[in-house]
Structure 1
């Protein structure tokens, strides 16, 4: 049995006579939602009218918060009492399913999550629409006689639908006839005596079509028929694979997979004139990217071959560019990289210069002189136009002083000046307080080398902001939200400043949804209705990585935004592996400031060192690619579980207290952080510090660089600790190296000076250089050849090439969404500096 729920959108109860209404004064307003009083245009001490009552109901109903709005009036001797009752809206609650469903519940839940409007304002028509979609879905899954009924229950303004499903007798596949059983079985997972799931059947046909296109079967066709008799389905599937073509190229030195990526007929599966022309166009631009100067592409079909031919395969280094033009034109330094120069780059840059000078229809042609390797650019600038008669169509007067700043008659016609005029006019009208001014500039047809211009202005109205009402914000205070507004109560408001307000709120990351509506009232006044949906104030993320040195690495990050309802962010990070445990708790400010408490525990086999500290930092950007963090740090370092002879480590057995000022700078121009193929980065870490325990100053500097050239990469890491009078800094402050990411023949941080027990004690000077060449085998697989050289020394004076650890090897890298999987074999090139011969290095994933 279906329970019908009728929602009344607007109910007005008015128990007074119309002609008396205008003479009555509002004595009091009773409203069960006092926070929304600004949306009510009825004011105490003013006359009441039916239009004001109607506007009240419309304003409140537009908020979407109410199921019903009732307005009543009570007459008294000295005025009228207006009573407004807003009945809260109902919302969709969780759905329950009963009956003989016939399909798996997980499929049903997936459908519910996609189409059921959980949490939205309840609408009867939306529920009925959902039930109809559900019925069609179950029919597609093989139950044509399905019957669905529903009833609803309400609790605390939440509507809980209960869906009752009777699936009925299913459709059974009685027989399947096909001319290609092998392809049918491979892609279409519907067999005889199965329930006829049409969704699964069509999905299989789609996969089969994709397979044929991928394997160059063109003009293929798959047709099917279904005959239904007494819940039995008789299927006929005719598979026409079409013709298989092989792609060959002439004079075109481009990888086959790149050529295939440009072929439009491979994506559509059809060969016709339009797909061939589109393929030629795509290949033309691909050839330009590869460095061909003036390619002429032709695609031909010959039985089972597709020939992609370039008729003018000029791919030589250009040593000179000659521009033949009647007016002076220059190319920028950015474009003058001759090895990668393309005709399209030159065309776009010169065209832009000509348009700025008033030549609207330039023509540019190219030629190449093979003798002196010169690219000849012939420029025909065409006509130069001037601005003709300017016609003003405006509903408000425009000051002459402002007009003098805009376009003028007989000036050179430049589109940039037209856009500038448009921007100045809009800024002027917004500044004058017009809410949504419309400015259009129409360009007429040229006449006598002059272009008439028609400027049309519709200024609209001025609106004063009566109040701001915020809905949906529970944890974030009203005053914090209003900080992002550039306007105040009582001021003029414009559409652009509302959009700025919305953008600022969305940019905070506080809100999942922001909606702004202006509710107009009388006397050009309006209330701004701000509806927000808050994001969760906390988040949790984790990452797992494995490498052969540290074993399993686990990182967890817990982040809570806007701690204590202020613009602060709290972040907790843990990094755990067999060799290292680290934890960070950071509170960062709205923009630049952050404060951190951190600890580290590292296991060096014969000793462990722990570090505990806190820092106060300022972070920012000098420009787009250069980031910096400046920090004041206080650290306590301590050694535990020491199994090194006492005389070798006597000084280190007492805790060390250090205070310092750390500067981190990063300049990053890599095209990708996980898999860079182009660009470079420079990271500098400078740390002047003072040991409170030893009463000594030291300065620790570390610079790491990386350069990437397609398949080739070079990484360099140099560090130096400057001290006076031979001072040995505490072990936790020294440099360590070795492991799966540098000096791969070495074990985890075991390179460099050692105690008598064979455990590394770190050093004051670090140098590591790694080079790697990656060869793309197929898809996500790369074969690499690498070499490492470097070490850690007690001091820079001990550095020498002969004392460097040297290794080389090969490796296999597989790209995955969680980071690279690497298997590498390192071979020791110098047994005098490190005893191992070979080492297998394995790593999976990455951690943050």
Structure 2
């Protein structure tokens, strides 16, 4: 957080002197005049400054002057964070006392521009600084930024970086643009890395374990030596050695820097120590692999034998928690004459029998049957329905649960004692529980006193402790808080609630009185903001759950803060309640904002099998005109066509929590292996209400002018295809949808469900070819049974029902399967094809996939998959309605924005003339 130095020049003593007419009698204030130092221009944020000042100061025209109120007024102006200087003066003219407030507002940092930052990300440079756009400009704070950025670049491996931070005043508005110029200078690069003492692993293998060595293989600044990264590499090498059994390994790094040539030579002195071979004997309850997880020495080392001792204790705890109370564990070292580099540790386990609960005898339970007491316990006797294993830690929790149960039922001081009777080898235990219930205290009466805001009836409905119910002392605090919240939300934030208890001498009854002091009524004042140099104030006020003049509510204030924080246009949002601490009768709110950078430009290109080479670009503004609207222009071209669009999105359509997105687009599509293409020009409007419990409904409208054409006009039309299909068509489509999503990640899901249903109600405006209803259903399930393995399942179904008088559906509206994103192993769209090798679509399509995604480490994932699908209800008599399947495997590299993969699918039911399989390149998961 930035530190602001505020200069305050206040003539308080002079004001007080001028205001006195007698010794302790102050004059009435005849006038209050506010002058604000002239800015270059007045914008939306500055015009209201004067009104804000009058609203924040407690001194009012016509009222008596008060030094205390003057101090309070100055404090409020300071807390607003809007003013660099505050100067208060006074003047007496003709018996009239006039107050003058001379205020100098801050100028603001409107932007921070960074030059020469590469290869460090801009966000990392900004994070190192203590200022951000929207902060007040303070020269002294600005001067501290250079040192912070220099420190960052030194940590990144640069030797003597030079940083210049200057502020340029924008003549248009008087605010400042901060320019950060970075001259990184030379950096240390890794020259050599040598290992000594590595007897069991080659230097090459150890080098590949070190990130600094791998990065040194890359040119330019990618291979710079970063000391913090080197320390992590040494730690990783230590972990590697320990995982291989070298628990006593010690690695001593030696760094030699050549300042002249800017190189670093590293020597790693390795004392491997002996290799521990750990064997287990006598263990029947646990596998060796399970017990190895308890070997702390292979994770944290074995200095002075402590790692082995801790490992044995850990194994003992595992046995204890499974009921083996008599288990004995010891470690013996097996000798290896002449081999000092090997230590074989045999962990000998004498499990003995599990300790079983023979019986549970409960006495003293007068008020409740034994069955009710047993429900509070996890410990149980052995039998058909229970294991009967005795675990001391769980039994102690049982005793606490019984005690807590009695307290919740009104017994203020219950005693629960335990007695355990063991057999000779401690394999059986008898449990005796003796309960001294004590006196049960019931609530005899509940009174509400002192509140004029809340009626007794409403208060009694709210509280938990009610008349004729068991008395629970700990619930008093909860009821106090509940009453406080309710009254506070009615505009009384200074309410005080105190619960008083009067217990009868026989402790059988308790009278409760909640004494309430409402405090003064407090109203919501004005909402001010700072830091939003681009965003309009009305955008912020729209998110407020509480309006000016309404009863002040802390709960609604917190909800408002959450609403504003949820806006994607802000990076940080802070609320300051002006006057709450001082217990004023009107609370003004200051919203402190750090805006996100709204503009973006992107350019990308790549290759994937479904469209081969492609390039895309786009520009946009996430805060268009400062109105929290998202506007964009984008385009993509590939070997299957092009698409361009311009759009605008409104997250609060008609001031509701429904987002609206409107776009105009033009596209041309020529899918692989299809004998037709189409051009389209259209517009769409999509509405999406706020998700409710993972459900997101949607409604989309689109109007499109479509022109379907043949790719080879010399070929004759099929018998089922009309020439009218190749005339221009106008189509209106209404699409309601419902989506359910519980996935843990959008980019790389490992658990959860995704399901969506879309229904396209299509109407041709010039003919009935596009008169149909298209149903599309998608179901995905992700499950991770063990670490590094995720199972993914996909089911898709689509169906088209024509309602036009022709009963025909154009080719460009049918379903096609085969290829990268549905049934792999087949060429794009060729799951079903005719004798000429052209894809055939149908009015019905069903497909499914199963994947096993295995994390191999180093951001590499191996995939095993099985796909199947069927295209049916075709308009031509070619191909088959039968399901066709494939299986295959692939590799994916996981990037921060998703995986890039190469996969091979093998056809399981290859037809004559088909290839055995297909290679697919994909960007992102296929599902």
TM-score band, normalised by shorter chain: 0.7 to 0.9
Instruction: Look up the match of 1:194.
Output: none
Alpha carbons 1:818, 1:846 under 8 Å: kept: no
Q: Deviations over 1:688-718 (max 9, x none)?
A: 3233333353232233333455455443333
Question: What's the CA shift string for 1:97-143, capped at 9, x where partnerless?
Answer: 9xxxxxx9989999975544345446687578768878999999999
For residues 714 and 147 of structure 1, do their structure 2 counterparts lie closer, same or farther at Cα, with a shift above 3 Å needed?
closer
Aligned 1:783-794 pairs, distance under 5 A: 783-794=862-873
Q: Which residue, out of 573, 587, 598, partners 2:649?
A: 587
Q: 1:211: which partner in 2?
A: 237
1:203-602 map, 5 Å: 204-216=230-242, 217-218=246-247, 241=272, 244-245=275-276, 268-269=300-301, 304=343, 325-326=371-372, 329=375, 358=408, 401=457, 402=459, 405-408=463-466, 411-412=469-470, 421-431=479-489, 433-437=491-495, 461-462=519-520, 464-465=522-523, 467-472=525-530, 473-520=532-579, 524-539=585-600, 546-553=607-614, 560-561=621-622, 563=624, 568-570=629-631, 574-584=635-645, 585-590=647-652, 591-592=657-658, 594-597=660-663, 598-602=665-669
Summarize the Cα distance change of 1:362–1:312 in structure 2 as closer, same or farther, 3 Å threshold: farther
In 2, the alpha carbon distance for the partners of 1:46 and 1:791 equals 85
Match for residue 917 of structure 2? 838
Q: How far off is 1:643 after superposition?
A: 0.9
After TM superposition, the structure 1 stretch with the greater mean CA deviation from structure 2, 528-537 or 5-14, is 5-14
Q: Secondary structure at the match of 1:659?
A: strand
Instruction: Return the alpha-carbon distance in structure 2 between the equivalents of residues 234 and 809 of structure 1.
Output: 46
Where 1:624 maps in the other structure, the secondary structure is coil
**How far apart, in 2, do the equivalents of 1:610 and 1:806 lie?**
32
1:629 equivalent in alignment to 2:692: no
Match for residue 85 of structure 1 among 72, 89, 102? 102
Q: Pick one of 84, 88, 103 that aligns with 1:71.
A: 88
Match of 1:39 among 51, 56, 71: 56
Task: For residue 841 of structure 2, give the secondary structure of its aligned residue in structure 1.
Answer: coil
Q: Distance in 1 between matches of 2:266 and 2:555?
A: 60
Structure 2: how far apart are the matches of 1:416 and 1:542?
A: 61
Cα distance in 1 between the residues matched to 2:86 and 2:608:
65
- Please say if 1:744 is aligned against 2:824: yes
Distance in 2 (CA, whole Å) between partners of 1:160 and 1:617 is 40
Which residue in 2 is equivalent to 1:19? 20
Q: What's the offset of the Cα at 1:470?
A: 1.1
1:649-699 CA-to-partner distances (Å, cap 9, x unmatched) read 523220122223323333344454444455544433322323333335323
Distance in structure 1 (CA, Å) of the matches to 2:754 and 2:59: 64
Q: What displacement does 1:603 show? A: 1.2
Q: d(CA) in 2 for partners of 1:463 and 1:794? A: 71
CA distance in 2, matches of 1:800, 1:364: 78
Shift of 1:729: 0.8
Distance 1:427 1:382 in 2: 39
Distance verdict in 2 for CA 1:400–1:382, change over 3 Å: farther
Pair 1:82–1:635, CA change in 2 (3 A): same
After superposition, what is the alpha-carbon deviation per residue over 1:41-77, rounded to whole angstroms, capped at 9, x for unaligned?
2222223243333333322222233332111223211
Indicate if the aligned counterparts of 1:814 and 1:822 stay in contact, CA closer than 8 A.
Answer: yes
Paired residue total: 789
1:117 aligns with 2:130: yes
Q: Deviations over 1:478-499 (max 9, x none)?
A: 4443343344444442433332
Quote the Cα distance in structure 2 between the aligned partners of 1:274 and 1:462. Answer: 64
The answer to whether the 8 A contact 1:465-1:528 is kept is no
Q: 1:759-774 maps to which residues of 2 (within 5 A)?
A: 759-774=838-853
1:46 partner SS: coil
- For residues 234 and 763 of structure 2, the distance between their equivalents in structure 1, rounded to whole angstroms, comes to 70
Residues 400-448 of structure 1: CA deviation (Å, up to 9, x unaligned): 5435744157733569955752443223331453324466889999x99
Q: 1:506 to 1:784 in 2, by over 3 A?
A: closer
Gaps of 5+ in 2: 37-48, 214-224, 334-342, 355-368, 378-384, 420-428, 785-789
- Matches of 2:615 and 2:98, distance apart in 1: 67
Pair 225,827 (structure 1): closer, same or farther in 2 beyond 3 Å: closer
CA distance in 1, matches of 2:612, 2:884: 23
- 1:705 and 2:787 correspond: no
C-alpha distance in structure 1 between counterparts of 2:227 and 2:489, whole Å: 62
Instruction: Note closer, same or farther for the CA distance 1:310–1:620 as it changes in structure 2 (3 Å cut).
Output: farther
1:53/1:71 contact within 8 Å kept: no
